A and B are shown apart, each in its own frame.
Chain A
Amino acid sequence: MSSVSESLPPPTTATGPVAWVRDKLFSSPLNTVLTLLSVWLLLMTLPPLVEWGLINAHFTAATSAECRASPGACWAFIGQKYRFILFGIYPYDEQWRPLLAAIILTSLIVVSCMRRFWKPRLVGIWAVGLTLVGILMWGGVFGLTYVENTNWGGLPLTLILATFGVAFAFPLGVLLALGRRSRMPAIKTICVVYIELIRGVPLISLLFMSSVMLPLFLPEGFTIDKLLRAQIAIIMFAAAYIAEVVRGGLQAIPKGQYEGADSLGLSYWQKMGLVILPQALKIVIPPMVSLFIAVFKDTSLVVIIGIFDLMNATKTSLVDPAWRGFSIEAYLFISAIYFVFCYSMSKYSQQLEKQLATGHKR
């Protein structure tokens, strides 16, 4: 043995693939069991999936009979039907219009996600964008043929319902949240009753009510369009949930922040808009984005009142007698579409949280 005072070498920190596998996958008996179980599951499921989806699959087929000849997936079905799934019963030759509208809506959302556009002119951009979407979808001007909104469908319709839904529900929800914490009893009561009523009812029944019951209350001869009614139901529904999410954020803001703002002489709206809400909303980004994702997916419930959103268009595409029985392919296809949108939202929220961190939660 050498001298006692000799310093110990630093603990070896092995790197490289072998070390990684040992550290991450086999670090404990439980971990080892879980790893083996996962490998077994993958071995059981992946090969048949690949066989079905790729090896035996038909990517092109003129008729469904060709597809049925072998057991693989029939992606040719998607090739046949994607226009219908994406655009519903919108006139076939005019479908570039909803495509463009969908692109504009998506761009609007993407642009709003970028912080350097968080300026007053964003409102202008939205106004222009939504007007364009309206012109494209309805037509009737600039030589575009008029298309009634009962003929709209597919992805653009889903995007419209979700975008308008969130765009209107968000400010409404924030106001409801502020109202619920108001010191004025009348305002507070109205907000509480509204929020609790809406939250106590499933969206489906709101949609039913808006499409079946609302017309009963309206004066004779006065009708609101079916799509608009569904849109209002979605806005009202989302607003109640947004209000509760925002309220959670407001409660997390310490009293000192209100007092700091008050002591400067800021008015109520200045205090809320400049000091409290920016912090409260930042806290609730994760639940808020989950809510937006839920709203985006919940728009598919308009199926039940016969609106041709992405989901309904897909369902309808499946009833074509010539191409019956490919529902797995169809639903995988729209799942992929939903997933792309939802996953992007969730990724974006993670990024935004990081960007907005200002180092005060030490």
Chain B
Amino acid sequence: MAAPIIELQQVNKWYGEFHVLKNINLSVARGERIVICGPSGSGKSTMIRCINRLEEHQRGHIIVDGTELTNDLKNIEAIRREVGMVFQHFNLFPHLTVLENLTLGPIWVLKKPKAEAEATAMKYLERVRIPEQAKKYPGQLSGGQQQRVAIARSLCMNPKIMLFDEPTSALDPEMVKEVLDVMIQLAEEGGMTMLCVTHEMGFAKAVAHRVIFMDRGEIVEQNKPDEFFANPQNERTKLFLSQILH
């Protein structure tokens, strides 16, 4: 079996006294798609944010694509080039146009020529179905459109791994589908390793290879989606599923 692209070994993290991640072990294969769910405050965001070092873990090891995350800035920047992230609140740059948002990383980080970066950006804008918005500012777009721009912005960096942190939970209900469609399309193209924190169970069933349930800083249970939903083992998982599936 090929080496995992992401490896978390005995990862622990505290906020002050508060133990937010407890002995997390996780191994993600190349091209694997994982959905992470769990109650609010269970440490889902913290865990995936540790993978691109938006948060620092204090114990254990995190190895991404063969490079261990340490305080070494060069390593961190190298890993961030490989790892795209989509946030709940989009985090687009409001002072730049959509096109400029998409080309900023490729031009400054990947040192691509402007014309090439713009061509790539337009390609991805078409993939997320909003090429006509290229010259607009993020503030002029709907939430769903902004999130699709954010996905395109990450894809423009040609990452090996994509992290999604509740990408649809800040959206009005009628916009959730347009964003999920883009994510499903991305999954179906294959090849991309995806870690997605979401409570969209339809999405999990459609594309995930594995569903992980977190509670109180621990990975409580993980399984294939069919098994996970049909046969939850742990009491906490059952309780959680009964709450979100009504």
Are A265 and B139 closer than 8 Å at their CB atoms? no
Are A279 and B85 closer than 8 Å at their CB atoms? no
Are A263 and B139 closer than 8 Å at their CB atoms? no
Give which listed residue, A256, A278, A359, contacts B140 with CB less than 8 A: A359
Are B95 and A279 closer than 8 Å at their CB atoms? yes
Tell me the interface secondary structure of chain A in the complex: helix
Please judge, given known A-B contacts A359-B140, A360-B139, whether A264 and B105 are in contact too, CB under 8 Å: yes
Please judge, given known A-B contacts A256-B91, A262-B54, whether A361 and B157 are in contact too, CB under 8 Å: no
Q: How far is the CA of A263 from the CA of B105 in the complex (A)?
A: 10
Query: What chain B residues lie within 8 Å of A361 (beta carbons)?
Result: 139
Are B54 and A259 closer than 8 Å at their CB atoms? yes
Query: What chain B residues lie within 8 Å of A262 (beta carbons)?
Result: 52, 54, 80
> How many of chain A's residues touch chain B, expressed as a range?
20 to 34
Q: How far is the CA of A257 from the CA of B89 in the complex (A)?
A: 10
Are A259 and B138 closer than 8 Å at their CB atoms? no
Q: How far is the CA of A257 from the CA of B109 in the complex (A)?
A: 17
Q: How far is the CA of A270 from the CA of B81 in the complex (A)?
A: 14
Q: Which of A269-312 contact B (CB under 8 A)?
A: 270, 274-275, 278-279, 282
Whether, in the assembled complex, B191 has its beta carbon less than 8 Å from a beta carbon of chain A, the answer is no
Whether, in the assembled complex, B41 has its beta carbon less than 8 Å from a beta carbon of chain A, the answer is no
Closest-CB distance, A263 to chain B (whole angstroms): 4
Are A264 and B104 closer than 8 Å at their CB atoms? yes
Are A267 and B77 closer than 8 Å at their CB atoms? yes
> How many of chain B's residues touch chain A, expressed as a range?
20 to 34
Are A256 and B87 closer than 8 Å at their CB atoms? yes
Closest-CB distance, B152 to chain A (whole angstroms): 12
Are A282 and B95 closer than 8 Å at their CB atoms? yes
Query: What chain A residues lie within 8 Å of B15 (beta carbons)?
Result: none
Whether, in the assembled complex, A128 has its beta carbon less than 8 Å from a beta carbon of chain B, the answer is no
Whether, in the assembled complex, A260 has its beta carbon less than 8 Å from a beta carbon of chain B, the answer is yes
Chain B 124-156: CB-based contact to A (< 8 A → 1; otherwise 0): 000000000000011110000000000001100
Are B95 and A264 closer than 8 Å at their CB atoms? no
Q: How far is the CA of A361 from the CA of B140 in the complex (A)?
A: 10
Are B108 and A270 closer than 8 Å at their CB atoms? yes
Please judge, given known A-B contacts A359-B140, A360-B137, A360-B139, whether A265 and B109 are in contact too, CB under 8 Å: yes
Q: How far is the CA of A259 from the CA of B92 in the complex (A)?
A: 10
Q: How far is the CA of A237 from the CA of B89 in the complex (A)?
A: 40
Closest-CB distance, A275 to chain B (whole angstroms): 5
Q: How far is the CA of A358 from the CA of B135 in the complex (A)?
A: 12
Whether, in the assembled complex, B94 has its beta carbon less than 8 Å from a beta carbon of chain A, the answer is yes
Which residue of chain A lies nearest to B150 when distances are taken between CB atoms in the complex? A260
Query: What chain A residues lie within 8 Å of B43 (beta carbons)?
Result: none
Query: What chain A residues lie within 8 Å of B52 (beta carbons)?
Result: 262-263
Whether, in the assembled complex, A49 has its beta carbon less than 8 Å from a beta carbon of chain B, the answer is no
Are A263 and B54 closer than 8 Å at their CB atoms? yes
Whether, in the assembled complex, B229 has its beta carbon less than 8 Å from a beta carbon of chain A, the answer is no
Whether, in the assembled complex, A116 has its beta carbon less than 8 Å from a beta carbon of chain B, the answer is no
Q: How far is the CA of A356 from the CA of B96 in the complex (A)?
A: 11
Whether, in the assembled complex, A336 has its beta carbon less than 8 Å from a beta carbon of chain B, the answer is no
Are B105 and A259 closer than 8 Å at their CB atoms? no
Query: What chain A residues lie within 8 Å of B87 (beta carbons)?
Result: 256, 259-260, 263
Closest-CB distance, A271 to chain B (whole angstroms): 10
Query: What chain A residues lie within 8 Å of B84 (beta carbons)?
Result: 263
Closest-CB distance, A182 to chain B (whole angstroms): 14
Are A274 and B108 closer than 8 Å at their CB atoms? yes
Whether, in the assembled complex, B240 has its beta carbon less than 8 Å from a beta carbon of chain A, the answer is no
- Residues of A bordering B, CB below 8 Å: 256-257, 259-267, 270, 274-275, 278-279, 282, 356, 358-362
- Residues of B bordering A, CB below 8 Å: 52, 54, 77-78, 80-81, 83-85, 87, 89-95, 104-105, 108-109, 137-140, 153-154, 157
Given A256-B89, A262-B54, A282-B95; 18 other pairs, CB 8 A cutoff: A259-B85, A263-B52, A263-B80, A263-B85, A263-B154, A264-B104, A265-B78, A265-B80, A267-B77, A270-B109, A275-B93, A279-B94, A279-B95, A358-B94, A359-B137, A360-B94, A360-B138, A362-B139
